[in-house]
Amino acid sequence: MNTLRVSSNKPEYDGSAPEESESIASSQFYEDCQVRDTEEDEEDHTDTPMGSGGQIEERDEFAEIRKLAQAETRRVLLWKGILLTVIGVTAALVTAGTYRILRQEEDDDFTTAYRLFSNNIKDAIQGHYERLSLASRSASLAITGSAQTSQETFPYVTIKDFEVLGESIRERSGLESLTWTPFVPVNEEGKWNNYSAANQGWVDYSRKTVLAASDDEQLYRSYQEGPIGPMFKLPGPPQQLSAPVWQQSPPPFSVQRTLNLDLMTTGTITQTRYNVLARVKHLTFGDIDTDVNLINSAFRKEDHELYHARKVDWNKSLPATDLPHSFIAEPVFSEINDPTSELVGQVIGYVALDNYVVDLLPDGINNITLVMRNSCNQTFTYDIRGSSAYYYGSLDLHDPQYDDLEVTTKFYGYDDEDIIEEMGQGVVCTMTFHIYPTSTFEDNYRSNLPMILAILVGATFAFMAVTFFMYDWFQGSRNRKVVAAAASSNAIVSSMFPSVIRDKLLEQQKREQREKRKGKVEPLSLHSQDRLSLQEEGRGGDVPLADFYPACTIMFCDIVGFTAWSSVREPVQVFQLLEAVYAEFDKCANNRRVFKVETVGDSYVAVAGLPEARKDHAVAMCRFAQDCKKAFTDVVNRLEMLLGPETADLSMRFGLHSGPVTAGVLRGDKARFQLFGDTMNTASRMESTGKPGVIQVSHDTAEILKEAGKGAWVTPREEMVQVKGKGMLITYWLAVNAATGRSRDGSSTTSGTSVSSEVSDAYTWSNQSKRNVPINGQTKEDQKTQRLVQWNVGVLSDLLSRVIAAHKDISAPANTTTTMGKARNTPDASSLLHVEAGMPLDEVKEVISISNCGFQPSHMPPDEPLEKLNKVAKTQLHDYVSTIAAMYKDNAFHNFEHASQVAMAECKLLSRVVNPKLSGVSDDNPEGHGSTLHDSYGITSDPLVQFACVFSALIHDVDHPGVPNSTLLSENEAMAQTYGKRSMAEQQSFDLAWNLLMDARFNELKLAICGDNTDELNRFRQILINVVLATDVMDKDLNELRAKRWDRSFGTSVVEEAKKDKIDRKATVVIEHMIQAADVAHTMQHWHIYHKWNSRLFSEMYSAYSAGRTTENPAEGWYEGELGFFDTYIIPLAKKLDECGVFGVASSEYLSYAERNRMEWEDKGKFIVEEYLQEYKAASDAVASKDTIMEDDEREG
């Protein structure tokens, strides 16, 4: 990487390794470096003013800061005396004013609290009205909609399930009864009587609906049978319209006394009311009285009493019918949402006003008076008591002293003053609510606190005066803390700048402060624009802190493959690698007296020769680069167990160049010590044009090494290098180990031989691994497989430790232990752990049971250490994984390395599972009640599920034949018959892995997994079957099963089922989609990862084609097939990971990579397929040539 802006950040690192042996090895490595330096180049180490860390000897920062603290302390003592005097004077004033202020605060608190609660009441009442209005409007629209749907004409409209509609409206609005009353012209009353007699079946239907929801036998006996009679009226003047009571909810006890009663003759509805209703076209209220005939016709007295008792309290000597009731009228029009259409009827609801005075305040907030007034000169008073209320009576009983605090809210929804005035004439009534505090409510905010606090304030001032006399004792402790904190801060600044530069900055700051106090300069910032303008105006300005260093050597190094490697790992793992690597580099820098400039991403920049000049800058930097190269190899090999496969395959490019450098502090925001010049650019180019695992140096650096007698360290590169802005350059490879003619054991060697060997070492593995030639008795593939086995064992051991911790409630035999490295004495384990096994495909279940063991999620720290896996079980686990690795065939794609990649992707998905318990709310638990089953549907609280998921990833392709199931049908008829001609490769992989696990050699491992519990073993097998067979995405029946289950869990066909069944179903869907995503994770990762595994898959399929196992040439449709695979499977799968809601924001990463890879494949895929084909043919020719050579050697032998 090339950069012109660098800094001297030095992140602190404690240098501790994961294991003691690793720490010792690391320390030994640096001791060897120091010994080598002494033996090889004693003449290079001249006396310098620099310490062992390559910096100028630092002054005693603690002593300097201590002096500064003492000077400040004298000022503090002076101000202490002044402060004590001020305290005495202030005490009298503050004490006197405290009482007055606090009393005023109580008044303000009372007023504020009342305003808050009265506004709450106001908002709640408005909410009640809105719900009432919306519900009544819904009933009106439902009647009009029913008429249009059934093609009935008004007034001859009947809703069969009127009780269902009525019950819903009553529950939402607080109405006690709901009545549908059509307007019938007088000349059609005979026709109406015939219609009502013919359509009275709704009454029985409504009664049956009520009885079905009630177990009250008395209610059944309350209903009186009999037909509906003709419309009947009360005496009075004739009307133009009739308004018979037609349908009512709840249904009446007696239809003869209720239904077909003409309300136009009862005073409930008059022609004037009809005219107002037609004009308002909205909900209206009647007057408030105890005329509740329609309620009494459908409610028994005791039920009515109980209904009101649940809401408010009142003087029980009065019946519930004496509580304020009113009726509402909602117009019904002939057309939906068209108030200009004909008014054909009305919905009448009887409501107890108690409904609108409850749930207005939180419990515990009492004694606020609520007065109801309407335009019909009626008044009623309630006392609000939390969520309930008390009814005082039909008078205005509020306290007049609080009239100025009155809050008013209306209980109607129209603003037309003419209409309101007309309604005020007694036709209909508008209602308003008036809110007042009470003296009892105010008393809640009155206390003796003002007097008490006034006394305490005086005592506090006295105590403060005494306390300050103890100040001297605390002063020493404070100073020590200040010194330590200031020294720490100064150390941080020192790490950002070389000592020389830091001292200049501090001196410049002091000078600027002195001049500022004298008024000679204006306040300056570090912004160069301000300083430049002052210099141009002749008013001074500091000269930038910069110097020219004529002889320096700069090193750039960069991790090769880091971007692709990091794309498949968690951010924490990325930083674990970078911190470990660069901490080791920092140690090397201190040892070699090299100045670390900056780390930019995965690039590390260092320089030798500044800030203090040194003649051996090139030699020192070369040794430093060699140390870094070895340190990097040690770190990645050590961390592969922790960070996963391919960590040890990472390498670094190094580039060195020597020349002049301009360096200094570019002042401004986040100022840093920076390097500039062509030397920086060229060093960057040396790195970017280099090769992995070797150190490339420029011609200038090589010449300096030759002049220093180190010419044996460098070997010219075979070809010239094209460098941007420089043209073709001659560069060199660096090898320091053989420079002095001594080997590491001290024996003599010849320079030429050693240099050649060192330069070629970087290519030994890559060249020999292509032929799989043994190195030290093992091929690179063998070593890689061993590393993969160790990593898988480590991951499974951690997960299995959590499984064991979840089995704490299962008692072990007296002679059995599971920790401290001791094995169990269980000779009958094989008989205990046995399950009946059939064809795996037949055992696939729609829902897997998830255990609620209460175990903490894997990404949360446990309260106590996890129980360790005993040595015998861990040894068996290692043997099992090693055997599984050996059972994988040498396929290009379906091999053990790919299985490990799938396991790592599965681990990453598990680590990103969101834990809804952190928020306490989920879709399944909207009220936030905590439960371990709500940890992402129980996945994170069931360690066995986590272990089984990773275990399944490891075994899912065991003994894969290298061809799809469609080919196996014709290629292996016996296998096809055994497995029912479906999912043959997957079923065979499962059977092989399961049968191996059931072997007596792995009894201790089985006991660790299942804890002597056959049910757990069955559950473990069930999880494995579902997960492994989920990787067969070509089986139509399995795909349909998974699609239906997804739809039932997260789609549009969600079914009602038990809560645990619902959670288990979702968990089953999630874990199956996790393995599917992990199996094709390379398509949802960095392009290089996708390209690598796609190439291997092509090679595997083309190999099968070349061998005659398949008839279709994969090269002919590979480009289009990949696009289709992205469109029909990968991208939809990535979207499902987001839709299931358990991966949080992390799910967008997979979709983003999938879409980008799809776009890049669409752009480059055709050319890449040609490259695949050429690479395959070249590899085949190489293998054929190798076989020919081996045959010739055998004949000659």
Q: What angle do CA 553, 557, 562 make, to 5 degrees?
A: 170
Phi, psi of 481 (to 5 degrees): -65, -40
- 419 vs 58, which has greater pLDDT? 419
pLDDT in tens, 253-302: 777 778 888 888 876 667 777 878 888 888 888 887 755 555 556 566 77
Strand pairing of 184-185 and 431-437?
unpaired
Report residue 1055's pLDDT band, with 50, 70 and 90 as the boundaries.
low
| Amino acid at position 224, single letter | Q
Would you state the pLDDT for residue 315?
A: 83
Report residue 832's pLDDT band, with 50, 70 and 90 as the boundaries.
very low
Best-predicted range by mean pLDDT among 82-86, 426-430, 470-474, 967-971?
967-971
Would you state the pLDDT for residue 882?
A: 92
Report d(CA 941, CA 855) in Å as an integer.
Answer: 5
Report d(CA 1179, CA 1174) in Å as an integer.
Answer: 9
Lowest mean per-residue pLDDT among 140-149, 304-313, 1082-1091 = 304-313
Would you state the pLDDT for residue 418?
A: 63
Report residue 631's pLDDT band, with 50, 70 and 90 as the boundaries.
very high
Q: Decide: 563 and 688 in contact? Cβ < 8 Å.
A: no
Q: Decide: 245 and 196 in contact? Cβ < 8 Å.
A: no
Report d(CA 979, CA 973) in Å as an integer.
Answer: 10
Instruction: Answer whether residue 1037 shows pLDDT above 90.
Output: no
Average predicted confidence (pLDDT) for the chain = 77
pLDDT in tens, 1096-1129: 999 989 898 888 888 888 888 898 998 999 899 8
| Amino acid at position 231, single letter | M
Q: pTM of the entire structure? A: 0.55
Lowest mean per-residue pLDDT among 681-695, 774-788, 1065-1079 = 774-788
Q: What angle do CA 968, 970, 971 make, to 5 degrees?
A: 60
Helix (H, G, I), strand (E, B) or coil at 812: coil
Would you state the pLDDT for residue 337?
A: 85
User: What element of type H or E holds 688?
Assistant: helix 678-688
- 115 vs 19, which has greater pLDDT? 115
Would you state the pLDDT for residue 922?
A: 45
| Amino acid at position 125, single letter | I
Instruction: Answer whether residue 156 shows pLDDT above 60.
Output: yes
Alpha-carbon torsion, ordered 502, 504, 507, 508, to 10 deg: -110
Report d(CA 634, CA 804) in Å as an integer.
Answer: 33
Q: Decide: 792 and 877 in contact? Cβ < 8 Å.
A: no
Report d(CA 69, CA 49) in Å as an integer.
Answer: 30
Cβ of 978: how many Cβ atoms within 10 Å?
A: 14
Would you state the pLDDT for residue 1109?
A: 87
Would you state the pLDDT for residue 768?
A: 42
Lowest mean per-residue pLDDT among 315-319, 453-457, 689-693, 1101-1105 = 315-319
Of 139, 207, 158, the C-alpha closest to 348 is: 139
Q: How many residues does the chain have?
A: 1197
- Please enumerate in sequence order all residues whose Cβ is within 8 A of that of 970, keeping only pairs 6 or more positions apart, or say none: none
pLDDT in tens, 770-799: 444 444 455 667 778 888 888 888 888 888
Q: Decide: 936 and 916 in contact? Cβ < 8 Å.
A: yes
pLDDT in tens, 160-191: 888 899 889 988 888 888 999 999 998 898 99
Report d(CA 17, CA 1076) in Å as an integer.
Answer: 36
| Amino acid at position 244, single letter | P
pLDDT in tens, 571-619: 888 888 998 998 899 889 888 888 888 888 888 999 998 888 888 899 9
DSSP 334-371: SSTT-TTS-EEEEEEEEEEGGGGSSSSS-TT-EEEEEE
Arithmetic mean of pLDDT, 874-879: 91
144 vs 152, 205, 273, 771, 867, CA distance in Å?
A: 10, 21, 21, 85, 70
- Please enumerate in sequence order all residues whose Cβ is within 8 A of that of 431, keeping only pairs 6 or more positions apart, or say none: 285, 326, 372, 373, 374, 375, 410, 411, 412
Percent pLDDT > 90 in the chain is 14
Would you state the pLDDT for residue 98?
A: 86
If you search the block for the tokens 């089922």, which residue do you land on?
1057
Copy the structure tokens of residue 675: 């390097």
Report d(CA 40, CA 42) in Å as an integer.
Answer: 6
Arithmetic mean of pLDDT, 963-992: 87
Copy the structure tokens of residue 1103: 């190999």
Instruction: Answer whether residue 42 shows pLDDT above 60.
Output: no
Would you state the pLDDT for residue 817?
A: 40
- 88 vs 1075, which has greater pLDDT? 1075
- Please enumerate in sequence order all residues whose Cβ is within 8 A of that of 103, keeping only pairs 6 or more positions apart, or say none: 450
Report residue 381's pLDDT band, with 50, 70 and 90 as the boundaries.
very high
Report d(CA 893, CA 898) in Å as an integer.
Answer: 6
625 vs 587, 757, 1125, 1155, CA distance in Å?
A: 12, 18, 46, 40
Percent pLDDT > 70 in the chain is 74
Would you state the pLDDT for residue 502?
A: 63
Strand pairing of 343-352 and 651-665?
unpaired
- Please enumerate in sequence order all residues whose Cβ is within 8 A of that of 643, keeping only pairs 6 or more positions apart, or say none: 569, 573, 576, 577
- 1012 vs 697, which has greater pLDDT? 697
Instruction: Answer whether residue 1079 shows pLDDT above 80.
Output: yes
Q: b vs e for 370-380, b when ≥16 Cβ sit within 10 Å of the residue's Cβ?
A: bbbbbbbebbb
- Please enumerate in sequence order all residues whose Cβ is within 8 A of that of 440, keeping only pairs 6 or more positions apart, or say none: 366, 367
Report residue 804's pLDDT band, with 50, 70 and 90 as the boundaries.
confident
- Please enumerate in sequence order all residues whose Cβ is within 8 A of that of 259, keeping only pairs 6 or more positions apart, or say none: 196, 200, 203, 228, 229, 244, 245, 246, 248, 252
Sign of torsion, CA 353 356 360 363? positive
Would you state the pLDDT for residue 46?
A: 38
Would you state the pLDDT for residue 827?
A: 41
1003 vs 820, 881, 958, 1040, CA distance in Å?
A: 18, 15, 21, 38
Strand pairing of 651-665 and 241-242?
unpaired
Report d(CA 247, CA 207) in Å as an integer.
Answer: 12
Copy the structure tokens of residue 1144: 């949080």
Report residue 766's pLDDT band, with 50, 70 and 90 as the boundaries.
very low
Q: Decide: 778 and 787 in contact? Cβ < 8 Å.
A: no
How far, in whole angstroms, is CA 60 from its chain's centroid?
Answer: 48
Arithmetic mean of pLDDT, 652-660: 92
Phi, psi of 399 (to 5 degrees): -80, 115
Q: Decide: 1025 and 840 in contact? Cβ < 8 Å.
A: yes
Report residue 950's pLDDT band, with 50, 70 and 90 as the boundaries.
very high
pLDDT in tens, 508-561: 666 766 676 666 544 444 444 555 554 555 444 566 777 888 889 999 999 988
Best-predicted range by mean pLDDT among 453-457, 991-995, 1180-1184?
991-995
Report residue 238's pLDDT band, with 50, 70 and 90 as the boundaries.
confident
DSSP 1067-1095: HHHHHHHHHHHHHTGGGGS-HHHHHHHHH
User: What element of type H or E holds 1127?
Assistant: none
Report residue 69's pLDDT band, with 50, 70 and 90 as the boundaries.
low
Phi, psi of 695 (to 5 degrees): -110, 120
- Please enumerate in sequence order all residues whose Cβ is within 8 A of that of 33, keeping only pairs 6 or more positions apart, or say none: 588, 591, 592, 623, 627
